[in-house]
Every structure is written in C-alpha cells, then in structure tokens.
Structure 1
C-alpha cells in the first residue's frame, strides 16, 4: 500500500533560494570568480591566489626592456658609439682633437661638427649640471612610501648616494685626482704637452731666445719664420696651466714679457675670451680620453636608473588596465610626472650627442676609452649600491630574472603577500590598503544574508 504523499505547498508560496554569482550554464564552464568563499579570511586568500595567477602572464617587450634598463641603455650607447666610429672611418668626418691646431680651425660645414651648435653650447657644456638638476628633482618629488622611505634598494637615501658617487667620479676625471684630473694626468703621462699660441706681432727672435722649444702644429715646415706666416706658433707650458691654474703675468712672467703692450691694455678673464691677452692653454697630443663620451655615457646610465620605475609604470599602463585608484594630483605629483618626461628627453639628447661625438670628434681609441670608462663607472656604482631592477651585467647582485611579471610593492620591488591578503591593492608597483572598500563589501554581504534569511522565514510561515 503506497504511503500518502504530503500536501504540496502552493507554487506561489514556495520559497525560492538563489545563490549569488552562480551561473545557469554547465558547471564545466564555471569560473573561480563564480564561487566566493564565505569567511573574510578565505575570501582574502582566494583573491591573493587569483591575483598572483593572473599576474603570471608573458611580459611584453616594453616591460622586459624597462626591467633591464641598464643593459638596454648600455647596449644603446655602445651601438651609437660604434656606428658613429664606423661612419667617421668610412667618410673621414672626424677630427683628431688631441692636435692643438684643430681648436683654432674655422667652423666646419656640418652643423653638429661645430662646437657652436646649440646642443653643445646649451646642454653638453653643462652636461652634469642638467643631469644633476633633473635627477634630484625627480628624486625628491617621488611620492613617499612610509615602509620604503629610509630603507630598501629604492629608498631616497640610496638613490641620492648613487648621484653622489657619480658626481665624485665626474670630479675625479675632470678636476682632481691627487692633483690634476684623471684625464689630464693620462694626457701628461702619454706624452702630451700643455701649450698656448702666441699672439700676432710678437718678436719671434726674442721669443726664440726665451723659449727654445717653440713649435707649430699641423705644418710640415720646421722654419719658425716661414711658419709664422701660415700657421700659429705655440709656446709649451707646464702642465698645471692646462689643469686649472690661471695663466697671467704673475704666474708666468716670461711669457707676458713678450707682449708688454697687450698685457698693459688687456687683462685675462675667463668670461670674455676675445678680451684676453692669450687664449686658454690646451693640451697637444698625448692620449686624450673623450670626456664627452665618458660623461654622456655615465649621465645616460645614471638617469636611466633613476627613471626606471617611471618607465616601468609607463610600460605597464600602456598594456595593462589596472585597478583605478584615486591618487594625489597635487603640485608634487605633477612636478614628478613632468620631471620624468624632461629627464627622458634629456636622455635622448645625450644619446644623440654621443653619436655626434663619435662621428665628428676624437680618434677611435679615445672615443672607445671614454665609452668604456663611463660603462665601468656605472657598473661599479651598481655594485656598491645595487639597483632594484632585474639583473644584468650592470646589476650582478639581484636575483635571476623571469619571463613573467609579478606585482611588486613599491620601489624596492618586493611583493608583500600579507598586505595583499589583508586587502591590499597593487597599483603601479605600490601596495595601497583599501580598507574602506574591503570592510564595506563584507558589511554588504552580511546585510544581504540577513535580509535573505528573513524573507525565507516570512514565506515559510
């Protein structure tokens, strides 16, 4: 005998229980997002693992380049230098500027072969000043990260130390290396002579008696009287006059005794060369390491290291639309943004002038030695103060590189997993706590659960 069936509930009064975020299609097409864990801790763990899995995607070329910016920039600078040297050899466009007479040649036809070109006058002659200004402006306008402001590879103190070391290297080469600068010392040790041209109208017989070693440059004749009509005559000087010691009647009276009229009417000044009794002394021959090659190479690599995080954020924003977070758009943020743009433009100018130096100035060994010295200085700085970017020959201390990207937590480049579990949001390498949103979401879920339970009880009754 069949048991009686219980009375059925009318269809209109039967409660309907719906599961939020559940799809109506087959379970085989379900997404991890469809199933949300119940407890807040489980939800945070699920969000962390999902974000980490989503981040393990192949990197684009721009991302790979910005994570290895030191290696990329070193390769770029070396390629420009080698290309320029090859061009100068094929077309004989370069002057051997270690020969003193080349400093008095008239302007050449090519605009960038002239020392009076606008980039050389405005930028290259003040190269380290421009580099330092934009480096420090970008450094001190960087948004503060409390956990990373005083420690870590990307801290302001360590980035400031990079600039200090680079500045010391520049001073050692140009101004002081236990006396004269390193560049001047190398010229003197390799047979270079400091010299200055005699002005016209000087009694050559008397000059020959005082200075038996007068010489001409760029002329095959050894007859001083004949050479005086076709080229300049030079007086050899002690090396310190090419290393910063002022040349005047008090420091070298023998020379100024030859030009009494000029010395009485003209006074030496470094600001107006046309008013000087004599031009600035220069080195003749010797091995003259290209100061432009050294300084511009060092400037490119040091600025590139400072701009690496800015370039990474630009590369990431161009391929990934990250979670939008309102950020401060005050004067500091705007200044930091535009200082990055200006410094990037300066890097481009330095690269162009490296190419022009390779094409028009110095001989190949001097240009290559300046390039190698700049690369070696940057390498040494990166060993003493390791950068936070991926490894390269200029960053040998970092961990091995990976072909996949992973969110980082600020300038130091370390992913804070605990912060992500607490609801941290990764945005352009900075973890920001979104506590209000996290707590608000939990509160909404609790309210929805209470409301649903109340409706079920009311319909059941």
Structure 2
C-alpha cells in the first residue's frame, strides 16, 4: 500500500498581492502620457514636475537672453552707439553740437540728421514722459500673484521705487543739481559760454561798448569788427542757459540795443522769443543728453518688461505652456502695454544709433552712454531683483492651495506617500498630503484594493 504523498508545498508561503492598476511590465517604457492625474492637486504636481525637468534641458537663445536682460540691453545699446560712432568717423556725418552756430546751419540731407524728424519731435523730446507712462501702466496692470517671476515680496513697490530713482536721476541731470542741472554745470566748468545772436538791426558800436567780448562762432578770435563776416554772438551769464528767462526785466542791457525795446512787455517766460532767439551754450564739454536719457530709458523699461519677455520666450520655445482664459480689461491693458512698450524700446535703440551717427563728438556721446549705464547699474544695486526661479522655488505652483502637515504627522504619525504623490506638493523636501482633495478618492481606491486582495486569497 502506497503511502500517501504529502501535499506539495508552495515555494513561498507568503500570499501574492497584486496592486490594481499597476503596469508591471512597462516600467522601463513609461512616458508622461501614461500618467493621467485626476485630482487638481495632482495636476498641479504634474505641471511643477514638468517645469522642473524642463529647467534641466538646454535653454534657447531667447530664454538665456531674457534671464539676463540687463546685460543684454547694456550690450545692445553699447554696440549701437559704437557702430554709430565708427560710421560717423568714416563718413564724417557727425555734427559737433557744442558749437553754437550749428543751430543756424541749413537742414542736412539725411532725414534723421535733422532735429525736425518725426521720432525726435514726437518721442525723443518727451522721452521720459513716454517711458514713465508705459512703465506705470504696465506696472499697475501687472499681476501681483506670488508666482510672478522675480517679483518677490512687495514687487510693485520695488518696481515703483526703480521708476522714482530713475526720475530723480533724470531731474538731476536736466533740471536741478543744487541749482542748474548737472549737464549745464559740466558745460560751464569746462569753459562753455551761454550766448545769444546779436540782433541784426542793433548798433554794433554800442554793442561793443556794453559787451566787450562779442564773438563769432568758429573764429579763433573772441573779438569782432564790423567788417567781419558771420553771425555775431553776445555772451550772457550762465543762468540764462539754465532756465532763467531772457526778458527786458532780467537783462535790460541787451534789449537797450534793440530799437523801440521799451514797447516789449515781459508778460511771460517766452516773451523774449519775440525779439531774440533762445540762449544756447557754446563750446564746453556737452554730455549727450539724448545718449544718457535714451540709455536710461531702455534699461529701466527693459527691466519692467523682462518678466513679459521671459514668458514670450518660454511660449515660443514650446517648452512651457500656461493656459490663460482671462480676457479681463486688466489683462488686455497689460498685454497691449507690453507690446507698445516693447516697440518704444525699439524706437529708443534706433535713436541711440542715430545719435551716434549724426550728433555730438565721440567723447560726448560715450560719456552720455556711460552715465546712462552707470545710473542703471546704481539703481540695480539699490533695488536688486529678487532671486530667479529654481527647482526648489517653482513658479507654477501656488503655495496657498496646499495644507501643512497635521500635528500627528509632525509628532511621528503615519504618512501615506502614495496618497501624497497624488494630491500634495513638495515643501522643503517633504511631501505633504492635501486631504481636502484626495481623501474621498483614496478611500475608494483602498476599498477596491482590499476587495481584490480578499478575492485572490480566497
């Protein structure tokens, strides 16, 4: 009688547990498309992971440029000015604007060599007004979301401070620097003279008795005779080129040379233009005000637009797309102010090139460029930009949407990592669960998993 065979024993006494919905044979072939997060928190987590992984891939040229916009803009305006200076030296196109007689020269053939060109009259003469308008519109129409790039705490206040500092620098150079503007003071200290043309019907002999230092522009001699050709100029005190109006009351010696001057009434600051042209500087070192102001405008406006330019560069590279369905009035104002302000930066760059080609001598142009860049650098030192986004400070994940760990978790309680991966956010290297979004879904999945395990064991 054959002895009964003992029942075969399995190789492992541990029950096999199969987790539902797990891809067991395709781990090495998984792709982001295979994972379809359902909860909103999981989708945010997926977007954050995508942005972090994208930061590890090579950046495009435009993304690198917009992340260092101040260096790029400084290099751009410097290159334009140097190219303009080189062209002016080769072609002899530049006009020495420190000579007073250049205001009486006929218009030059090149359109942008004339001060009456449309860009100079409409835009450059009001450069800081245009820059301030678009800067402030773009600033107050911008989002104050904590996800804004490089905004940091108090982002709008910091940006408003940038504009205030730049405005103060513009006023110091053009209007007031403990009296006259800095530009006028430098001209006066370097030997410049404030002057006005002598009226044609004035008695030259009487003029020589009152003003012994009459001169003609371009002549080496500072004195003139009645037979000398050229326009004769009368030197004036410096304040008349720094804002003090030239009228019968402020400088009667000059008006005494004009016939019937007693009939002129000084009723406004522009009364003097009826008899005499505006007083202007002659010689001295005239720092290019256009080079300074346009350079400063490009740097300040470019810093405000940098965040918008970065978003445009990221969208064009197709490496990050953020869905926006906000067509509110504020968003439209921001969008169009960004476009118009970017066009204004282009106009300023073009006029920097035209200044380099047609106006001032090379040292005056370079000094205006250096002064503008130095002012922008000082503003960046006083109000530095906030830190750049990083994988540890993602820009697409709002912090307010997630909860902090409970007291039980902080004291060493249990932690469901799988649930946290579905509906939580990384914070300082720890994954916290958002129970408001994943509790119901997690309970249902746990129940299904227990049922499946029970069926397989039975």
Task: Using structure 2 for the length normalisation, give the TM-score.
Answer: 0.80
- Residue 221 of structure 2 corresponds to residue 224 of structure 1: no
Change (3 A) 1:24 1:121: same
Once residues 453 and 242 of structure 1 are traced to their aligned partners in structure 2, the CA distance between those partners, rounded to angstroms, is: 91
Once residues 183 and 414 of structure 1 are traced to their aligned partners in structure 2, the CA distance between those partners, rounded to angstroms, is: 49
Look up the SS of the partner of 1:236 in the other structure: strand
In structure 2, runs of 5+ residues without a counterpart are: 10-16, 404-419, 427-432
Structure 1 residue 105, shift from structure 2 partner: 1.1
Matches within 5 A, 1:279-358: 279-322=277-320, 324-358=322-356
- Residue 121 of structure 2 corresponds to residue 121 of structure 1: yes
Once residues 440 and 417 of structure 1 are traced to their aligned partners in structure 2, the CA distance between those partners, rounded to angstroms, is: 14
2:99 maps to 99
Change (3 A) 1:166 1:106: same
Look up the SS of the partner of 1:235 in the other structure: strand
Once residues 313 and 42 of structure 1 are traced to their aligned partners in structure 2, the CA distance between those partners, rounded to angstroms, is: 24
CA contact (8 A) 2:248 2:264 kept: no
1:155 maps to 155
1:204 maps to 204
- Residue 176 of structure 2 corresponds to residue 179 of structure 1: no
Once residues 20 and 165 of structure 1 are traced to their aligned partners in structure 2, the CA distance between those partners, rounded to angstroms, is: 60
Once residues 35 and 201 of structure 1 are traced to their aligned partners in structure 2, the CA distance between those partners, rounded to angstroms, is: 91
Structure 1 residue 321, shift from structure 2 partner: 4.6
Matches within 5 A, 1:429-440: none
Change (3 A) 1:323 1:375: closer
Change (3 A) 1:32 1:203: closer
Once residues 71 and 91 of structure 2 are traced to their aligned partners in structure 1, the CA distance between those partners, rounded to angstroms, is: 30
Task: Between 328-337 and 161-170, report the one with greater CA deviation.
Answer: 328-337
Look up the SS of the partner of 1:225 in the other structure: coil
1:89 maps to 89
Once residues 415 and 326 of structure 1 are traced to their aligned partners in structure 2, the CA distance between those partners, rounded to angstroms, is: 15
Once residues 202 and 232 of structure 2 are traced to their aligned partners in structure 1, the CA distance between those partners, rounded to angstroms, is: 10
CA contact (8 A) 1:408 1:416 kept: no
Look up the SS of the partner of 2:177 in the other structure: coil
Change (3 A) 1:407 1:355: farther
2:23 maps to 22
Structure 1 residue 63, shift from structure 2 partner: 1.0
Once residues 451 and 197 of structure 1 are traced to their aligned partners in structure 2, the CA distance between those partners, rounded to angstroms, is: 98
CA contact (8 A) 2:52 2:394 kept: no
CA contact (8 A) 2:44 2:397 kept: no
In structure 1, runs of 5+ residues without a counterpart are: 7-15, 391-403, 426-434
CA contact (8 A) 1:216 1:233 kept: yes
Change (3 A) 1:298 1:408: farther
1:395 maps to none
Once residues 353 and 248 of structure 1 are traced to their aligned partners in structure 2, the CA distance between those partners, rounded to angstroms, is: 35
Structure 1 residue 440, shift from structure 2 partner: 5.2
- Residue 444 of structure 2 corresponds to residue 447 of structure 1: yes
Look up the SS of the partner of 2:277 in the other structure: coil
Task: Between 151-160 and 320-329, report the one with greater CA deviation.
Answer: 320-329
Task: Using structure 1 for the length normalisation, give the TM-score.
Answer: 0.79
CA contact (8 A) 2:54 2:319 kept: no
CA contact (8 A) 2:69 2:306 kept: yes
Look up the SS of the partner of 2:260 in the other structure: helix
CA contact (8 A) 1:194 1:238 kept: yes
Once residues 414 and 319 of structure 1 are traced to their aligned partners in structure 2, the CA distance between those partners, rounded to angstroms, is: 21
1:264 maps to 263
Change (3 A) 1:366 1:46: closer
2:407 maps to none
Once residues 452 and 153 of structure 2 are traced to their aligned partners in structure 1, the CA distance between those partners, rounded to angstroms, is: 56
Change (3 A) 1:373 1:44: closer
Once residues 344 and 309 of structure 1 are traced to their aligned partners in structure 2, the CA distance between those partners, rounded to angstroms, is: 12
CA contact (8 A) 2:128 2:297 kept: yes
Once residues 340 and 148 of structure 1 are traced to their aligned partners in structure 2, the CA distance between those partners, rounded to angstroms, is: 15
Matches within 5 A, 1:355-370: 355-370=353-368
Structure 1 residue 231, shift from structure 2 partner: 2.3
Change (3 A) 1:181 1:417: same
Look up the SS of the partner of 1:194 in the other structure: strand
Structure 1 residue 446, shift from structure 2 partner: 4.1
Change (3 A) 1:36 1:345: closer
Change (3 A) 1:405 1:42: closer
Look up the SS of the partner of 2:196 in the other structure: strand
CA contact (8 A) 1:153 1:387 kept: no
CA contact (8 A) 2:144 2:155 kept: no
Change (3 A) 1:265 1:238: closer
CA contact (8 A) 1:84 1:359 kept: yes
Matches within 5 A, 1:30-109: 30=30, 52-109=52-109
After superposition, the CA RMSD in angstroms is 4.0
